[in-house]
Amino acid sequence: MNGNLPEPAVRLRGVQHRNNRHFALQDIALEIPVGGTAAIIGPDGVGKSTLLSLIAGTRRIQQGDVHVLGGDMRRRRHRNAIAERIAYMPQGLGKNLYPTLTVAENIDFFAGLFGVHGAAAKARRDRLLVATGLDPFPDRPAGKLSGGMKQKLGLCCALIHDPDLLILDEPTTGVDPLSRRQFWHLIDEIRAERPGLTLITATAYMEEAARFAHLIAIDAGRLLAAGPTPQVLEEAGAATLEEAFVTLRHRAGLSKAAPVADEVALPPRPHHDGPPAIEAEELTCRFGDFVAVDRVSFRIETGEIFGFLGSNGCGKTTTMKMLTGLLPASSGSASLLGQPVAAQDRQSRLNIGYMSQSFSLYEELSVRANLDLHARLYQVPRIELAARIADSIKRFDLEAIAGRLPRDLSLGQRQRLQLAAACLHKPRILILDEPTSGVDPEARDAFWHQIGHLARNEGVTIFVSTHFMNEAARCDRISFMHRGRTLAVGEPPALAAQYGDGDLETAFVKLIEADEGVAVRAAVPAPTMVTEAAAHPSMAALRRILVFAKREALELRRDTVRLAFALLAPLFLMVCFGFGMSFDVEDLRYAVLDRDRSLESRSLMEGFGGSPYFTETLPIADFNDLDQRLRSGDVQVAIEVPPDFGRDLMQGRRPQIGVFLDGSFPFRGETARGYVQGIALKQAMERARQTIGKFPDPAPYELVPRFRYNQDFKSVVAMVPGVMMLLLVLIPAMLTALGVVREKELGTIANLYASPAGIGEYLIGKQLPYIGVGCIAFLLMTLLAIPVFGIYPKGSLLALAVAVPLYQIATTGFGLLISAFCSSQVAAIFAAAILSIIPAVNFSGLMYPTATLEGAAKWIGLGFPASWYQTVSLGVFTKGLGFAAFTKEYLALAAFGIAFLVLARLCVSKQER
């Protein structure tokens, strides 16, 4: 290394990376100086994103050196130290945003995460919102934004702190041309203010890449070129980047096709008579008072390629969904192939191929299996099946990835798969929602060849939305849309001439600006940054915990249904179980097989009839009947009085009375046996009194059992505190069980990877709101138990005040541990349910005293917080014990809380593999 030069911001040497045995990167070496700008270009799935995530420190380095901002990215301490200086925006349309949080709340969360607080945060937020055109919607939930708007919001979130290194992974994919201009304008402004800012971007737009000082071209995981842009161009002997890239690939022996001309003229469209293939008449869609699509009309001829262009959130996707029948039109009508959409049946859907904006095939099926499922559901004849799939794999260049799962593929590869699936059944109409967003130029070109072929040679009608102007130029007609309305429709050259002095993009921008009534926004003055005194590390950590907690609480508050269930379900269930779960065996159904029918037999039976525990049913006819009645569960007790019972009794011959119990429910059987014995004894006393004239000698001793804590021996007294114990583990565990795994599935976990926050801070932050919810649920249950059941804490309230929060810490921690461990949300819900309900119901003293448990059950009980809390709950509610009685329990609960959290911490990694 040359000692005179300052150390570069980014330096990679000999970097290699494998994803599931496939080489993603091989032998990468490059440098980017401080304050430099670099664009990474290359086809889909060649490792651009992997490279960026290695630089950002969100992916574990397998081999090679990655030096960023003066340190080795292998070292955790360095990564933590510089995390605040890096801003990383991962690929995907707003994948790292929180859909239920509003635009402003999303930005505030990121601000807090990176230690930007207060007025500084607000000033920056406002500026970014204005610059990205999101300022009219600060209160709209992120989930309700269009794909492009999400992308802009993601950018705002990345830029909210003052980074020294800005890493953007295809930031303008899916963003409309006007917004793209505004976006780069914003980046330029930020760079002007911060000359030291280093910028690395992966992009699919060559004209964007041309703006960067450095160029990094990669393909198939290998570096094709890296260096100052003019130098790369010169070496390749090319005038434009597009040409240079094709030449470079060709040289490396990677290009399959010879370089293609940029514009391929389509043969003129043959004229079709007959009804239009797609027709929309005053099509309107309203969501509440928001009009997403406002009286849009168009007619598309058979075999026409109709392009749909518009600003982000203008209603393109909504229109397409109405055409496919996924969304009902609020008013107006649409028809496909002469048939109204509303009347579509299975057969007519065979004629339509649809590709949605976000990936909507099965992540858990391989590329080939996805195509196979599609072909079969689209009723492709069996003999053609194999050939059709093979052809499709070839046409869309999927050979190399046919056996892989979509989740391992890049955005562009996934788009190609979706497109292949949409075309597989040879539909007559193709509805494609931004099919080429995120697809590299070469593949896009190949794709448009397909489109042209389908339209011209096979007469397929194509309705396609795009943000690429060179794609729009290839359409037969295009429509410009903005804020739900059509601004102009026509042939591209005509529109370009009429509105944009011959340039389509200019036409688009001008039309929208005219509609908005404003020129490109004036640059907003940069707010003066208040440089805060660097907070003490532990203070910063505490603040971040609160930032995580606040976000989690906001999400919970937005989700009224979930919050209501979390607080009201315990009340409802406590009432149900308090009344319903009873071990007070009463109303046992019995029947008599009276084979004697004497006075004595009847008087014997009166003993049963008078007991509150028994209810008599129809007499039994014979032994067969007796067997049947017991078997069907009609009676639980059958009594057989033998013939000559009365006579034998009178003669003192101790006749036998047969009592048959249903033992299928052992507890009930056991209790019934006790009742029968008791009644028999009472009868005996009575009988003795009648015959001998006095009671037999009383027992020579006195033994009166005293039932402690529950004098009336009512189930409800024991059940209510126990049910509280059960609900206070089940509900908190279920609430937190999705915490981590859901973020992993949705992609928001990337924010943790890229942030300076520790995993511990993240977990505790996630836990806090639910601890609060659990404690409130406990209070509500206690307040309800007083009037409904007359059960109140007889003992120390302080004991509950300590034990309940500790118990909630332990149970929410248990849920988080499950969440950290499980690989899917389904598994996490199931695990939380079964792993908390089984020990809480069976091994924690709810119904069966823990002292009697044997073997594994005993240890499971002791190894689960519920049994410890149950001692406190029963002790305070029924036994009236004081604070000091539970020292061991407090300690155990606290230990569980810490242990679960530590284990969860070990299960979450702060980097991707």
Partner 1 sequence: MSNASALRWLHNVYRLGVKEMVSLARDPVLLGLMIFSFTFSIYSVAHGVRTEVKNAAIAVVDGDGSQLSRRIIEALQPPYFLKPQLIDRSEVDAGLDRGQFTFALDMPPGMEADLSAGREPKIGLAVDATAMTQAGVGTNYVTSIVDREIMAFLGQSGTASLVPAEVVIRTYFNPNLDSSWFMSVMQVVENVTILSIILVGAAVIRERERGTIEHLLVMPVSASEIAVAKIWANGLIILIAVALSLHYVVQWLLGVPIAGSVPLFLGTAAIYLFATTAMGVLLATVANSMPQFAMMAIPCFVLMNLLSGATTPLESMPEFFQVVMKALPSTHFVAASQAVLYRGAGADIIWPQMLLMGAQGSLFLALALRRFKAMLARQT
Please, which of residues 360-399 interact with partner 1 by CB under 8 A? 360-365, 369, 373-374, 376-379
Q: Letter for the amino acid at 621?
A: A
Helix (H) or strand (E) holding 285: strand 278-287
List 164's β-bridge partners, or say none. Answer: none
Q: Which of 624, 854, 884, 887 binds partner 1 (CB under 8 A)?
A: 854
358 binds partner 1 (CB under 8 A): yes
Query: Binder to partner 1 among 577, 807, 814, 864 (CB under 8 A)?
Result: 577
Q: How far is the CB of 288 from partner 1 (least distance, A)?
A: 12
Q: Decide if 434 contacts 418 (C-beta within 8 A).
A: no
Q: Indicate the residue among 97 and 630 with the shorter CB distance to partner 1.
A: 630
The DSSP secondary structure of 743-784, one letter per residue, reads HHHHSTHHHHHHSS--HHHHHHHHHHHHHHHHHHHHHHHHHH
Q: Identify the CA nearest to 312 among candidates 184, 177, 205.
A: 177
- The answer to whether residue 482 forms part of the interface with partner 1 (CB under 8 A) is no
At 19, give phi and psi (nearest 5°): -115, 115
Q: Under the criterion CB under 8 A, does residue 735 sit at the interface with partner 1?
A: yes
Q: Which of 123, 238, 841, 899 binds partner 1 (CB under 8 A)?
A: 841
Q: Does 730 bind partner 1 (CB under 8 A)?
A: yes
- Under the binding rule (CB under 8 A), the answer on residue 50 touching partner 1 is no
Could you say whether residue 576 binds partner 1 (CB under 8 A)? Answer: yes
Q: What is the largest CA-CA distance in the chain?
A: 127
User: Letter for the amino acid at 136?
Assistant: P
Enumerate residues 584-623 that contact partner 1 by CB under 8 A.
Answer: 584-589, 604
One of 328, 340, 609, 610 touching partner 1 (CB under 8 A): 328
Q: Is beta strand 71-72 parallel, antiparallel or unpaired with respect to 305-310?
A: unpaired
Site string for partner 1, 228-267 (x = CB under 8 A): ----------------------------------------
How many residues bind partner 1, per CB under 8 A?
155
CB 828, min distance to partner 1, A: 8
* 194 closest CA partner among 104, 85, 39, 91: 85
In the list 618, 823, 891, 902, the residue contacting partner 1 (rule: CB under 8 A) is: 823
| Part in contact with partner 1 (CB under 8 A); list of ranges 152-160, 799-807, 879-887, 904-912 | 879-887
Strands (DSSP E) found in 69-213? 71-72, 86-89, 165-169, 198-202
Give the CA distances from residue 843 to residues 517, 713, 800, 857, in Å, rounded to whole numbers and listed in that order.
70, 22, 21, 6
Cα end-to-end distance, the chain, whole Å: 30
**Near partner 1 by CB under 8 A: residue from 785, 878, 896, 901:** 878
Q: How far is the CB of 61 from partner 1 (least distance, A)?
A: 27
571 binds partner 1 (CB under 8 A): no
C-alpha distances (whole Å) from 869 to each of 107, 339, 570, 862, 908 are 40, 65, 17, 11, 28
Say whether residue 843 binds partner 1 (CB under 8 A). yes
Please tell me whether residue 660 binds partner 1 under the rule CB under 8 A. yes
| Position 14 contacts partner 1 (CB under 8 A) | no
Q: Name the minimum Å distance from CB 172 to partner 1.
A: 23
Stretch that binds partner 1, among 37-45, 220-228, 343-351, 539-547 (CB under 8 A): 343-351
Residue 34 or 885 having the CB closest to partner 1: 885
Q: How far is CA 659 from CA 614, 670, 673, 843, in A?
A: 13, 13, 9, 34
DSSP assignment of 886-905, as one string? Answer: GHHHHHHHHHHHHHHHHHHH
Q: Which stretch binds partner 1 (CB under 8 A): 126-134, 269-277, 444-452, 653-661?
A: 653-661
Of 670, 671, 665, 602, nearest to 639 (Cα)? 602
Q: How far is the CB of 418 from partner 1 (least distance, A)?
A: 9
Please list every residue from 451 through 480 that binds partner 1, using CB under 8 A. Answer: none
Nearest to 888 by CA among 803, 823, 828: 803
The piece of 34-42, 75-83, 253-261, 358-366 that touches partner 1 (CB under 8 A) is: 358-366
Distance (Å, whole) CA 630 – CA 590:
9
Among positions 670-699, residues that touch partner 1 (CB under 8 A) are 670-671, 673-674, 676-677, 680-681, 683-685, 687-688, 691, 696, 699
Q: Which of 30-38, 56-64, 465-473, 819-827 is the region at the interface with partner 1 (rule: CB under 8 A)? A: 819-827
Nearest CB to partner 1, comparing residues 57 and 325: 325
Strand order in the sheet with 637-641: 614-616, 588-594, 637-641
At closest approach, how far in Å is the CB of 70 from partner 1? 40
- Helix intervals (H) in 378-429: 382-395, 411-423
**324 is a contact residue toward partner 1 (CB under 8 A):** yes
Stretch that binds partner 1, among 299-307, 463-471, 524-532, 831-839 (CB under 8 A): 831-839
Is residue 856 at the binding interface for partner 1, with CB under 8 A as the rule? yes
Q: Which is nearer to partner 1, 256 or 346 (CB)?
A: 346
Query: Cβ contacts of residue 89 below 8 Å, gap of 6+?
Result: 96, 154, 155, 157, 158, 167, 168, 169, 171
When binding is defined by CB under 8 A, the residue of 4, 624, 711, 887 that contacts partner 1 is 711
Site residues for partner 1, 739-758, by CB under 8 A, read: 742, 746
- CB-count burial class (<10 Å; 0-12, 13-18, 19+) for 44: buried
Task: Write down the least CB distance from residue 629 to partner 1, Å.
Answer: 10
Q: Give the closest residue to 86 by CA, choosing from 131, 56, 119.
A: 56
Tell me the window of 224-232, 387-395, 510-518, 730-738 that interacts with partner 1 (CB under 8 A).
Answer: 730-738
Tokens of 733: 């565990």
> 597 or 631, CB closer to partner 1?
631
Residue 350 contacts partner 1 per CB under 8 A: yes
Q: Which residue has the tokens 């591209």?
A: 492
Residue 734, interface with partner 1 (CB under 8 A)? yes
| Cα–Cα distance for residue pair 74/160, rounded to 1 Å | 26
Q: How far is the CB of 655 from partner 1 (least distance, A)?
A: 5
Residue in 537, 701, 787, 884 binding partner 1, rule: CB under 8 A: 701
Cβ proximity to partner 1, 136 vs 580, nearer residue: 580
Structural tokens at position 361: 């095939």
List 183, 308, 480, 645, residue binding partner 1 (CB under 8 A): 645
